[in-house]
Amino acid sequence: MRKHFPRQMRCLRKAALLALGLVALSTIRSLDGAEGPVAAELLDVTGRIDVRRFADRVQDGDWSPAIQAAIDAVREEDGFTAGATIFFPPGTYRVDRTLILGGDRAHGGLHLLGYGATLLGSVALDGQPLPYDEPEPEEKEAGVPILLLRKPPGVEWADYVIEGLRFSRQQKNGCAIAVPWNDVPKQTSFRRVIAQGQKIGVHIPYAWQFSFTDCSFRGNDIGMQIRSHGNHINIAGCEFRRNHYHGLVIGPDRCQWASNVQHISGCIFEANKGYGVLLRSSAQTVLTGNYFEGNGTGVGVYTPWEVTIDTNLFWGYYGHGWRHSRFPDNAHIVVSGCQRLHLRNNRYAAVTAWFRRPEEGTRWEYVPRRPVRQALAPRHLRRRNRNPALCTRNARCPSSSTGRSAAGTFSTRPPRSARKAKSRPPA
């Protein structure tokens, strides 16, 4: 009996290892949203789908057939029920045709992961037809996207995650990422995504529950544009730098209601020739903890709805005379038509220098400049039924702001009770 005991132990050990292997395999499948049989050749050892497995479909350097094949491999009939992770190893992938998510019910929960990977929109992509059944005017204006996000059929939430990818372009046409007007993928997250060299970095005509974290928008005409009904948009820790027109644009809204509930926090808006943030039709919008430097105009508020600008730092302005604003390019905040605006705890730093390019010159010059103490527009521009704009520059932080700027009245003074308490001598 004793001499057979080691053999029994070895059998038990083998059974335990087999059970652990089955548990690990089921864990990998559950992480990828797969139930039942999954084609083993689709997944690598980490349970992800590597686009290089489809490299045989690359056509003359065009990776779009291979990448689309990797996306389309996630199907319910192959055991996927809640998405998968599509992995892009570091490198540059030329894209001649738009990549489309949402073709299968199993795409709900897809995760595109590609730190160090660049999707390069080619000149051939610019010549492709728009990937919409009936393109809306806004979609025609934005151009052909590199990546199109559709809502998966038969599901309420798309739950897409786009992480670590860089989107670039051979020519500044089209957009990096787009969402169809009538097919919105709710609950989509963007993490550390970079969009550069596009006409519009991210174009969303209609949005519900979108979040952007630590993303970068550089060198585009417009960094990001959210047009209609941007319901619950969270933009945190992103940077909008050196965009030719504007950094972030919300609106215009062509629906019967305004875009609402946007929270923009901890972002950098720097050296955008137009507006750092342009609010054309947003509502319940909060800008807090952001840094504005060297923009043509820091913030443009042209919406009649609720806007709060709280605890931001405004430093300097572009000073080039680009005239992307209806008002001077040397304003931190321009307000027109807003009926409910709150300015609190902001700091408007003195302007000590600007950049200038001489006539027919190619290099920018850094020109020292004395600070200009001007808090509001001239008095004759603030009279009733005159210019409805308010330009704030180099001003001390107003503790409260009330009134109807569309009617030409606007107050940046503290409440009367606070002024009386301040002037009253101590007991």
Cα dihedral value 139, 144, 145, 149, nearest 10: 50
- Higher pLDDT: 224 or 209? It is 224
pLDDT, residue 323, reads 63
pLDDT at 263 over 80: yes
Mean of all residue pLDDT scores within the chain? 77
- Higher pLDDT: 21 or 182? It is 182
pLDDT, residue 85, reads 93
Q: In the chain, where are the structural domains located?
A: 85-423
φ, ψ for residue 250 (rounded to 5)? -115, 115
pLDDT, residue 402, reads 33
φ, ψ for residue 64 (rounded to 5)? -60, -40
Tell me, rounded to whole angstroms, the distance of Cα 326 from its chain centroid.
Answer: 25
CA distance 387 to 192: 41
pLDDT, residue 183, reads 85
Write out pLDDT tens, residues 22-31: 444 444 444 4
pLDDT, residue 419, reads 46
- Higher pLDDT: 2 or 221? It is 221
CA distance 65 to 78: 20
The answer to whether the CB of 391 falls within 8 A of the CB of 328 is yes
CA distance 203 to 220: 12
Sequence letter at residue 20: L
Cα distances from 211 to residues 116, 187, 312, 423, in angstroms, run 21, 8, 21, 46
User: What is the average pLDDT across 319-347?
Assistant: 74
What is the full DSSP assignment across 302-313?
--SSEEEEES-E
User: What is the average pLDDT across 263-283?
Assistant: 92
φ, ψ for residue 31 (rounded to 5)? -65, -30
**If pLDDT is split at 50, 70 and 90, which confidence band does 19 have?**
low
CA distance 427 to 416: 20
As beta bridge partners, residue 195 has 167, 217
pLDDT, residue 289, reads 97
How is domain 85-423 classified at the architecture level of CATH?
3 Solenoid (2.160)
The answer to whether the CB of 255 falls within 8 A of the CB of 278 is no
Number of alpha carbons in the 13 Å side-chain half-sphere of residue 316 = 20
Q: pLDDT above 70 covers what percent of the chain?
A: 67
pLDDT, residue 193, reads 98
> How is residue 253 written in tokens?
């809204």
> How is residue 173 written in tokens?
């046409």
φ, ψ for residue 126 (rounded to 5)? -60, -30
Q: What is the pTM of this model?
A: 0.76
pLDDT, residue 306, reads 87
Q: H or E segment at 258?
A: none
Q: pLDDT above 90 covers what percent of the chain?
A: 42
User: Closest by alpha carbon to 297, among 280, 320, 267?
Assistant: 320
Place of tokens 């970079």: 194
What is the full DSSP assignment across 323-346?
--SSS-TTEEEEE-S-SEEEEES-
pLDDT, residue 413, reads 42
φ, ψ for residue 320 (rounded to 5)? -90, -15
Min mean pLDDT across 80-94, 136-150, 173-187, 392-406 is at 392-406
Burial grade of 46 (CB within 10 A; 0-12, 13-18, 19 or more): exposed
CA distance 150 to 186: 9
pLDDT, residue 324, reads 67
Q: Which of 88-92, 138-142, 253-257, 409-413 has the highest mean pLDDT?
A: 88-92
User: What is the average pLDDT across 306-320?
Assistant: 82
3-state secondary structure labels for all residues of 103-151: CCHHHCCCEEECCCEEEEECHHHHCCCCCCCCCCHHHHHHCCEEEEECC
**If pLDDT is split at 50, 70 and 90, which confidence band does 365 have?**
low
Q: Return the ∠ at Cα 386 (arms to 382 and 391), rounded to 5°.
A: 40
Burial pattern 408-422, b for ≥16 Cβ within 10 A else e, equals bebebeeeeeeeeee
pLDDT, residue 18, reads 57
CB atoms within 10 A of CB 217: 29
pLDDT, residue 398, reads 33
